[in-house]
Amino acid sequence: MSDQLVNNGKTVATKNVYSDMDITMRAHPVTGDVTLKTDTDAIRRAVRNIVLTNKYERPFKPNFGGSIRDMLFELDTDRKINRMQKSLKTLIEKFEPRVKNVTIRFDDVVDNSMDVTIFYNISDGVKNQDLTFTVTRAR
């Protein structure tokens, strides 16, 4: 979405504003409409959704998602961890064109939980963003 800033009928600048609906579907306290996530929060939510969504979970998009929960028990060697990091990086860059220079780090990999940190830059925006969350597999 692009907002035009106008001065005396002439366009003087273009301001990029990213916005996505909040998936919690909470109502705004004043307007009653669904709240929006904007700019860095919208992109952060989108990146997290890509990683946490399982393949075949989204109708009509069978290849969407990192399926990271399915791999928790299999990330027992450096080779498998590197392959998963590369796979997630490719998926994020494919499904979220607003980010670039993605780097992924896994910490505290144990049988059924792992800390994931994703570093990225927003295209034409804020640099050096990071997102950290813990992935656990329910038994």
Give the start-to-end residue ranges of the domains of the chain.
Answer: 38-136
| Stated pTM of the model | 0.73
Spatial separation of the C-alpha atoms in residues 18 and 46, rounded to whole Å: 11
pLDDT at 36: 66
Least confident of 13-17, 38-42, 53-57, 133-137: 13-17
pLDDT tens by residue, 51-82 = 989 888 888 988 888 888 777 777 778 898 89
Spatial separation of the C-alpha atoms in residues 18 and 42, rounded to whole Å: 7
pLDDT tens by residue, 88-117 = 999 999 999 989 999 999 887 776 788 999
Using CB atoms within 10 Å of the CB of residue 116, give its burial: 0 to 12 exposed, 13 to 18 middle, 19+ buried. Answer: buried
Q: What is the CATH number of domain 38-136?
A: 3.10.450.40
